[in-house]
A = this chain, B = another copy of it.
């Protein structure tokens, strides 16, 4: 009871702009606290307004520095800003990568910016979900623009991309040419390319290569993916990137994609919660777990195959046909 009041108090403090309350709520959500669902339910009515940006690219591309620069641009235009930095840091690294975060000091001392670092600790499972939930908290906290910084283009990262409205892919001259970017699946996800560290040799070539590859795609209709160059070291180029972000945002909102994405996300969220609930129902049951272990043993001995096993298993659990029309 008392705990519930404490949670309600935290939520009210978040609504009134209390940064510590926001941070505390994010920690509860990241740690999968049992209060997570009820907190997110209560925050939900205040969400749906923020615009979400994904900043992705290989390790070492200077994503953190670029996010900081873009956040400063956003602040100049009076947008409030949230930043989620996803670190695929490992049991090896511990807190070793604070360096990146320290570099972001310029923006994190601005009260219009809220920065959250999330460590994946080697496990990427569930990352996309937690990232989205933390973004929801930032949304309810009133941030206009939320930057989500991630590495790579694996499935988990693709899920993150599905949860953002504009994706900026950051490349560097060293990260290989346009063909490499294409092989890595970056062409599909980029709304804007940013060739960072363009003070180094090869940046012009990389930019033209990426443009050439983009021109191979016959399906660019409503949006021509711009290839921009910037140098955080020399301090140029990010104004242009931010301009392109605003232009893409304009197009995403006016075309209805923004609204449509939120509908799809709501569907996905329900599906995910339903799935989680059924899995808990099935595998939380000791008898079922025993059957599973027994069947796995028979499978690894070649006496049973997984398909027959699953069929047998399913035949023991049935749905009652209580699906009566709409709610």
| Chain A contact residues, CB within 8 Å of chain B | 37-38, 40-42, 44-45, 47-48, 58-60, 87-93, 97, 120, 122, 124-125, 127, 151-159, 174, 176, 180, 182-185, 187-188, 213, 216-217, 219, 259, 262-264, 266-267, 269-271, 273-275, 277-279, 281-283, 285, 287-288, 290-297, 299-300, 302, 305-310, 312-314, 316-320, 322-327
Interchain CB contact under 8 A, A88 and B300: no
**Nearest 6 CB-CB pairs, A to B?**
A154-B154, A273-B310, A44-B305, A155-B156, A266-B296, A266-B299
A92 touches which one: B91, B182, B288, B314 (CB < 8 A)?
A: B182
A95 to B204, CA, bound (A): 27
The residues of B that contact A125 with a CB separation of less than 8 Å are 155
* Copies of this chain per assembly: 2
* Complex alpha-carbon distance, A181 and B274, angstroms: 37
Binding site secondary structure of chain A: helix
Return the contact of A40 from the options B87, B92, B307 (Cβ within 8 A): B307
Residues of B within 8 A of A259 (CB): 300
Residues of B within 8 A of A44 (CB): 299, 302, 305-306
Q: Residues of B contacting A91 with CB < 8 Å?
A: 188, 217, 219
Excluding A48-B300, A266-B299, 15 further A-B contacts by CB distance (< 8 Å) are A40-B307, A44-B302, A59-B183, A90-B188, A91-B219, A151-B183, A151-B184, A153-B154, A154-B158, A174-B174, A262-B300, A263-B297, A266-B296, A317-B322, A318-B322
Given the contacts A156-B154, A183-B151, A320-B319, A292 and B267 also touching, CB distance less than 8 Å: yes
Residues of B close to A288: CB separation below 8 A: 323
Write out the residue numbers on chain B whose beta carbons fall within 8 Å of the beta carbon of A90.
182-183, 185, 187-188
Do the beta carbons of B152 and A184 come within 8 Å of each other?
A: yes
In the complex, which residues of chain B have a beta carbon less than 8 angstroms from the beta carbon of A271? 283, 292
